[in-house]
């Protein structure tokens, strides 16, 4: 059906709202939009089911403490004091969010889930702008079920927002292919500012966006002077905050990792391993070689040359999105602080990889493409089951707090492994959930400990030596001090 319906006899457009109604119905019931709606529904379900099942872990507690500060000035002060990222945007937005939806664990995480679903929609839009409709829908499907994207969309941290703003920045850059006007420049600048303030890693992506603009020079309508103006305005806005990102070393480091960890970054995005990834790449490379050999006679036509150039630009843009931020982070880890390694630091390149993966698969013969898509979905599903929805070893302090309230506990002794690298983090998480009047004393396993005044003894699960009457919650064992005979020595580690 055409978007413009005509009258049954006269051939003129029908007056009134009937034509608009038919147009809306046609849009809503088109196969493409039905598929897109299904993809977004799957993304929303995966990111929201059992969202509040696990209690917050330490990093989430830090974010909630900052967001729930008594005033905006206290928010900034507390952010600088306890959050190693020094990034103010997400706690500020979360503060507004919980003012509407409440400060529960599920409500706080729902903001990240909303960013995650919006990211899937942007992946579809980017895939359509760079490639074609089928590639866009396949990329959106992969993004909806990507274990990394789902996992970080279920945390009350800024990483889902970082991925969303990354996708939005690239989509706005691509929008300059159509035209260059003040509104688009202002939107792009605002996105760059937000990307900077949501996490220091946003600076690495802004470098990649600059490389992307150079790649886009032949297709974009944003002239070099206009691009320089956007960068100057962005820098002027964020200049006051930028020094805070370089003022202190990171809280944790990983040590310098070998190059194979750099090459293995994409594996987390779909749940595969090096073997499955190598098979996918080999199949896609073989198919692409066969396609080029088959179509070599068409390469000399003007239309084929233009299409080939556009495809190369699109592939280079996605490659820049993936490679430059990760390479810069790896280089920084070598020359300054070794922070490369945690999956959360590279998840913002996942959409580009999934777009490239979708592009390669959709160019396969249809039966092989269907098999490849099924394999990716299967691997993602397996990884989701273990990473996102499986058993967690995080300490469930919310359940412990409920138990302590029922028992009237006033003093708790918390026993951690003697080798625990961040003992204060466990204490801070406990105090977030416990009543303020409850005293929490931390002790290290491996030495004799006094329990005479304690109402409860909490032992993390990785410390051996449980009593038979211990109450178990996720990550913790809660024991009665009487089972210790007032003095007891626990093993120093698991």
Q: What is the pLDDT along the chain (494 residues), one digit of tens a residue?
A: 333 333 444 444 444 455 656 555 555 557 888 999 999 999 999 999 999 999 999 999 999 999 999 999 999 999 999 999 999 999 999 999 999 999 999 999 999 999 999 999 999 999 999 999 999 999 999 999 999 999 999 999 999 999 999 999 999 999 999 999 999 999 999 999 999 999 999 999 999 999 999 999 999 999 999 999 999 999 999 999 999 998 777 777 777 778 878 778 888 898 877 777 787 778 777 766 766 666 665 555 545 445 556 778 899 999 999 999 999 999 988 888 888 888 999 999 999 999 999 999 998 889 989 999 999 999 999 999 998 998 777 889 999 999 998 888 888 888 888 788 888 899 999 999 998 888 888 888 765 666 667 788 888 877 766 555 678 788 888 887 766 654 445 455 44
Q: How many domains does the chain have?
A: 2
Residue 277 is assigned to a structural domain of this protein: yes
How many Cβ atoms are within 10 Å of 267's Cβ, its own excluded?
18
Instruction: Give per-residue burial for 409-418: e unless 16+ CB within 10 Å, then b.
Output: beebbbbbbb
CB atoms within 10 A of CB 309: 12
Q: Are 128 and 233 found together in one domain?
A: yes
Please list the alpha-helical segments (H only) found in 176-301. 182-198, 202-215, 224-238, 259-263, 267-270, 274-294
Which structure tokens are listed for 345?
């630091």
Whether residues 187 and 275 share a domain: the answer is: yes
Q: Which domain holds residue 477?
A: 397-489
C-alpha R_g of the chain: 27
In a domain, 300, yes or no: yes
For residues 201 and 325, is the Cβ–Cβ distance under 8 A? yes
Q: Report yes or no on whether pTM surpasses 0.75.
A: yes
In this structure, the answer to whether residues 316 and 181 fall within a common structural domain is yes
Query: Last residue of a domain, which of 355, 387, 419?
Result: 387
Last residue of a domain, one of 318, 353, 387: 387
Q: Is residue 164 part of a domain?
A: yes
Residue 44 lies in a domain: yes
Domain assignment present for residue 392? The answer is: no
Domain contains 5 = no
Handedness of CA 41, 46, 52, 58 (dihedral sign): negative
First to last CA, the chain: 68
Shared domain check, 201 and 269:
yes
**Strand 476-479 relative to strand 456-460: parallel, antiparallel, unpaired?**
antiparallel
Residue 302 domain-assigned (yes or no): yes
Whether residue 356 is found in the same domain as residue 462? no
Q: Which two tokens stand for residue 195?
A: 């990307």
Q: Do 162 and 227 belong together in one domain?
A: yes
Q: Tell me the C-alpha distance between 56 and 106, whole Å.
A: 10
Question: What are 307-315's contacts with CB under 8 Å, separation 24+?
Answer: 309/218, 310/219, 311/131, 313/215, 313/216, 313/218, 313/219, 314/130, 314/131, 314/359, 315/356, 315/359
Instruction: Retrieve residue 84's tokens.
Output: 């190693």
Any idea what the CATH number is for the domain that residue 405 is in?
Answer: 3.40.190
| Distance of alpha carbon 485 from alpha carbon 140, whole angstroms | 59
10 belongs to a structural domain: no
Instruction: Give the number of other CB atoms < 10 A from CB of residue 399.
Output: 18
Whether the CB-CB separation of 209 and 170 falls below 8 Å is answered with: yes
380's enclosing H/E stretch is helix 366-387
Based on the fold, state whether residues 375 and 401 are members of the same structural domain: no
Same domain, 382 and 447: no
């Amino acid at each position: 059906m055409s978007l413009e319906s005509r009258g049954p006899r006269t051939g003129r457009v029908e007056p009134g709202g009937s034509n608009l109604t038919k147009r809306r119905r046609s849009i809503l019931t088109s196969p493409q939009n039905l598929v897109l709606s299904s993809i977004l529904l799957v993304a929303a379900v995966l990111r929201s089911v059992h969202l509040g099942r696990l209690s917050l872990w330490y990093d989430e507690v830090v974010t909630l403490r900052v967001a729930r500060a008594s005033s905006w000035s206290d928010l900034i002060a507390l952010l600088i004091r306890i959050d190693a990222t020094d990034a103010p945007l997400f706690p500020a937005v979360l503060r507004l969010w919980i003012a509407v939806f409440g400060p529960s664990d599920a409500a706080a995480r729902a903001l990240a889930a909303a960013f995650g679903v919006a990211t899937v929609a942007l992946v579809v839009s980017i895939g359509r702008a760079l490639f074609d409709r089928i590639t866009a829908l396949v990329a959106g499907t992969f993004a909806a079920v990507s274990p990394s994207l789902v996992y970080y969309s279920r945390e009350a941290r800024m990483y889902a927002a970082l991925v969303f703003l990354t996708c939005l920045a690239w989509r706005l850059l691509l929008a300059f292919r159509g035209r260059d006007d003040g509104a688009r420049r202002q939107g792009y600048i605002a996105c760059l500012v937000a990307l900077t303030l949501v996490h220091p890693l946003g600076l690495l992506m802004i470098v990649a966006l600059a490389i992307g603009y150079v790649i886009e020079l032949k297709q974009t309508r944003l002239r070099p002077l206009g691009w320089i103006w956007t960068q100057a305005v962005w820098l002027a806005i964020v200049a006051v905050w930028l020094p805070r990102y370089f003022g202190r070393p990171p809280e944790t480091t990983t040590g310098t990792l070998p190059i194979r960890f750099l090459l293995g970054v994409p594996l987390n995005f779909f749940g595969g391993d090096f073997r499955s990834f190598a098979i996918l790449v080999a199949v896609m490379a073989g198919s692409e070689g066969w396609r080029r050999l088959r179509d070599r006679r068409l390469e000399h036509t003007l239309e084929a040359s233009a299409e080939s150039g556009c495809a190369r630009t699109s592939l280079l843009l996605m490659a820049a999105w993936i490679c430059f931020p990760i390479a810069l982070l790896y280089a920084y880890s070598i020359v300054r602080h070794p922070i490369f390694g945690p999956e959360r630091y590279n998840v913002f390149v996942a959409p580009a990889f999934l777009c490239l993966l979708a592009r390669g698969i959709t160019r396969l013969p249809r039966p092989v493409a269907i098999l490849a898509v099924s394999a990716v979905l299967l691997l993602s599903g397996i990884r989701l089951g273990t990473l996102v929805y499986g058993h967690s070893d995080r300490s469930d302090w919310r359940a412990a707090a409920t138990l302590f309230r029922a028992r009237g506990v006033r003093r708790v002794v918390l026993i951690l492994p003697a080798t625990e690298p961040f003992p204060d983090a466990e204490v801070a998480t406990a105090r977030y959930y416990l009543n303020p009047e409850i005293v929490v004393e931390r002790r290290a396993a491996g030495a004799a400990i006094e329990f005479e005044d304690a109402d409860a003894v909490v032992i993390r699960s990785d410390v051996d030596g449980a009593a038979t009457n211990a109450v178990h919650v996720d990550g913790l064992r809660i024991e009665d001090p009487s089972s210790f005979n007032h003095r007891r020595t626990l093993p120093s580690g698991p």
